[in-house]
Structure 1
């Protein structure tokens, strides 16, 4: 019996092996999984990435994060500076996206070049699967909270059954988007970007009408405590772009020779503009509203008729955000050897994320969960992004998609026992150093504590991992010849 073309058993072609034609059309289920996209199936332009990254970032969570910055004691000017600086890391997300068209496969496969065939399984299991599931739960919790608030307005009694029904409906819509896959996502997200922008711009106008432009913190921060709050704010904002290591997955269908600068800018600007705009609005809202309960605070300034469009926009944004997360998480499951077609892998991720969401709604305070996760997850995501970006520079973005799928002991990415110790040690050392320098409501690293609680996890983790990887690749000789050419895909 012939296997599905996205079955991981057949989705890892031997270099030079022909593949059956794939299906990547809007409204049809994408047939390819992690297998290499041949040149004759490449399509699209870099500019389509703008809307693809804008839709997930015209976000309710941006309002939440902006409000948190002011709640922690920052002035408006300081909050604005932190928002811009933290969101500049979208350039890193955009930069690693250029490896997708170069290799024609997913980022979770490309990273075999950095960690080795075996080492990559462990890294991707954490960054592409576990952390992805946590982000699914976080975003579904936000949308479910908004949906349950709307249900309460309609007079529906609060119950565990209602909680479960709302979560399952939102998760189901998300998983459906992820199952249809790349082409549907590209087409759909252009429409969603317009809808979300209109709704959140209308909300922004309402916020601006209630903004205290002369706002100053009741107790201005000084000294080390001031630096600690600034660093915590930067970490909170920067954690979003650092969580999106899946940008190569969404660019891999572009023609091989698509401009790298165009890919980087379309991805980065698409995410940067809405993130900066709506996080800033969240900060302005906190000048007069109690953003400890952001949904209630924002609804208090809305006319009654606007509450429903607002809740729908929150849910739609969550579907957009989690749609690309679930899509990439399914590819990650295939890349670590889980023998499931892409569609079934997405369903498994959806079940795991839904279970986590129900647990979060019943056990954790939403705002606390947001802050804790976004402050601490960077100790892993920062070093991994740094190693990925450094590898692109060292290899001059020359990746052979077919060779990356060669998992044999004689393959070019087997290294030493299946592990590229340059990448693994760089990430472990960077994550360890970042943990020592991290600070949150639940964790204070010893180095951070010695500095008065200043959170240096991001600069230490990124710079440390990048430099160490650069040194170790040369010391261990794990890079190919700079003149080597990637195999031309058929």
Structure 2
């Protein structure tokens, strides 16, 4: 199916240098990507020193280095592997993630998870932009160049311009850009590790006491949510250009390897650094990136800042590009570049508001985004189960018609997502209780189930279970199990009602 927005096809797209293809099915002539090509966008978006900062959050659960190292490897790898499974849908359907999600939710019903996905993408990419601006101000202040309003204004303009321009340009330019950013940010990050390694005190790190296994689970969930699950709603956006004969297992591997290899190594080093240096560990909560600069010599601050900005911009570009596609999937009838521009403007305004005007916004902002992580996990469980059940490519025409085999609404999926989200919210707590008291309704199942007690006087939960964030795992696993059982016949009927390439008798991970 050729793009109506791009008469002349792929030649015109490449001549302009701007991808005009939107949410429609990718033309067969444009499906030339190989599984290994997925390494570049995922690696570039995740090879960031911000991963080192995550180590302080992990140790904040009160666990030992070895406990933290174990959950780092397991949590990050598994979460990106789940993204890889979602990416298989992109190869099978040649469409963005939220269009393919119409198969389990219905063409109209998909708008429910679509709105959540759009808010999550916009929110997290705005957060990355904010981190880039704050890091710039911190480094400039350390260099003695001033880190006041003027610096922040220039930084906000430059960061926003880079994100918006790349997002508007689209897939082909982003893929080329990410391959270059991988080398630049990778080299500087390695230099950072070499320079900061002298601050590691193994004796102090190894002496960190072990924590209860509930705390280990909490750290695991945080890592899964902060890494792979934070990208899972856009995973198929980058695999829709894959060749039809691309092997599913290879897609999962390169998606997982590209996304996980840098974060695993960086968080592991971060555990050594944060476990050794109390000043770094304490400073990360206020300025996750800038706090790392205090261990660096002055001569390295500028390369460090450049790498930080590029890595954060790289991640934000992927998110804004995909949020634009999600906006189109919700029924907004504008060209894809315009959709990316709209979301880029929202990101810019959000960054300006938080950095310059909102004195107490960052905590509530993060609380809001974390809250959306529960229904996103429920959606992921449903989508992964749907992919596992299918043995044929998607019916492309039906993805755009409520009269097709996927119908307007799938009430089983909608009901599953709703119920599992509510139950999930009941088993997670608001980590920003003081700054976002309006969100303290979460965790309403903890006391009835005897898993914790709310200390209203001091504003925190008592017990080991509350901060384990079991609700995210419940939403993910519960939605998968329910969907896999309850929708088996529905998926079989859908595939029997239409033609397409069959995967009968083969693993969903296999190629055709």
User: What TM-score results when the alignment is normalised by the length of structure 2?
Assistant: 0.84
Q: Which residue of 2 aligns with 1:344?
A: 338
**Aligned partners of 1:235 and 1:455 also within 8 Å:** yes
The yes-or-no answer on 1:412 pairing with 2:405 is: yes
State which of 469, 476, 481 in structure 1 corresponds to 2:495: 481
- The C-alpha deviation readout for 1:279-329, integer Å capped at 9, x for no partner, is 112211112222232345422221211111111111101111011111111
What is the rounded CA distance, in whole Å, between the counterparts of 1:478 and 1:120 in structure 2? 20
What is the rounded CA distance, in whole Å, between the counterparts of 1:324 and 1:345 in structure 2? 14
Q: Which residue of 2 aligns with 1:433?
A: 423
**Aligned partners of 1:236 and 1:371 also within 8 Å:** no
**Aligned partners of 2:65 and 2:208 also within 8 Å:** no
The yes-or-no answer on 1:176 pairing with 2:170 is: no
The yes-or-no answer on 1:462 pairing with 2:476 is: yes
Question: What secondary structure does 1:425 align onto?
Answer: helix
Instruction: Report the CA distance shift for 1:479/1:179 in structure 2 as closer, same or farther (over 3 A).
Output: farther
TM-superposed deviation, 1:236: 1.5
The yes-or-no answer on 1:238 pairing with 2:218 is: no
Q: Which residue of 1 aligns with 2:213?
A: 227
Deviates more, 1:59-68 or 1:270-279: 59-68
The yes-or-no answer on 1:354 pairing with 2:348 is: yes
Question: What secondary structure does 1:331 align onto?
Answer: helix
Q: Which residue of 1 aligns with 2:272?
A: 284
Deviates more, 1:394-403 or 1:316-325: 394-403
Aligned residue pairs: how many? Answer: 466
Q: Which residue of 2 aligns with 1:421?
A: 411
* Cα RMSD after superposing both structures: 2.7
Instruction: Report the CA distance shift for 1:26/1:45 in structure 2 as closer, same or farther (over 3 A).
Output: farther
Q: Which stretches in structure 1 are left out of the alignment for 5+ residues? A: 12-17
State which of 97, 102, 108 in structure 1 corresponds to 2:92: 102
State which of 367, 370, 395 in structure 2 corresponds to 1:400: 395
Instruction: Report the CA distance shift for 1:296/1:144 in structure 2 as closer, same or farther (over 3 A).
Output: closer
Instruction: Report the CA distance shift for 1:385/1:24 in structure 2 as closer, same or farther (over 3 A).
Output: farther
**Aligned partners of 1:137 and 1:357 also within 8 Å:** yes
The yes-or-no answer on 1:384 pairing with 2:376 is: no
What is the rounded CA distance, in whole Å, between the counterparts of 2:343 and 2:351 in structure 1? 12
State which of 186, 200, 220 in structure 1 corresponds to 2:175: 186
Instruction: Report the CA distance shift for 1:162/1:298 in structure 2 as closer, same or farther (over 3 A).
Output: closer
Q: Which residue of 2 aligns with 1:446?
A: 444
- The C-alpha deviation readout for 1:361-416, integer Å capped at 9, x for no partner, is 34367985797467544212211111111111112252122321224xx22222xx
Instruction: Report the CA distance shift for 1:261/1:314 in structure 2 as closer, same or farther (over 3 A).
Output: same
Instruction: Report the CA distance shift for 1:154/1:376 in structure 2 as closer, same or farther (over 3 A).
Output: same
Instruction: Report the CA distance shift for 1:111/1:264 in structure 2 as closer, same or farther (over 3 A).
Output: same
What is the rounded CA distance, in whole Å, between the counterparts of 1:304 and 1:75 in structure 2? 32
**Aligned partners of 1:232 and 1:375 also within 8 Å:** no
Q: Which residue of 2 aligns with 1:165?
A: 154
The yes-or-no answer on 1:211 pairing with 2:205 is: no
The yes-or-no answer on 1:363 pairing with 2:361 is: no
Q: Which stretches in structure 2 are left out of the alignment for 5+ residues? A: 434-439, 452-462, 503-512
**Aligned partners of 1:57 and 1:274 also within 8 Å:** yes
What is the rounded CA distance, in whole Å, between the counterparts of 2:218 and 2:30 in structure 1? 45
The yes-or-no answer on 1:51 pairing with 2:28 is: no
Deviates more, 1:269-278 or 1:395-404: 395-404
**Aligned partners of 1:422 and 1:478 also within 8 Å:** no
State which of 290, 302, 325 in structure 1 corresponds to 2:319: 325
State which of 255, 267, 272 in structure 1 corresponds to 2:255: 267
Instruction: Report the CA distance shift for 1:396/1:478 in structure 2 as closer, same or farther (over 3 A).
Output: closer
- Residue pairs, 1:52-67, within 5 angstroms: 52-67=41-56
**Aligned partners of 1:207 and 1:281 also within 8 Å:** no
Q: Report which structure shows greater RCO (CA 8 Å, sep ≥6).
A: 1
- The C-alpha deviation readout for 1:86-111, integer Å capped at 9, x for no partner, is 11221000111011121111111111
- Residue pairs, 1:70-219, within 5 angstroms: 70-87=59-76, 88-127=78-117, 129-153=118-142, 155-160=144-149, 162-215=151-204
What is the rounded CA distance, in whole Å, between the counterparts of 1:447 and 1:243 in structure 2? 25
What is the rounded CA distance, in whole Å, between the counterparts of 1:180 and 1:339 in structure 2? 18
What is the rounded CA distance, in whole Å, between the counterparts of 2:420 and 2:410 in structure 1? 16
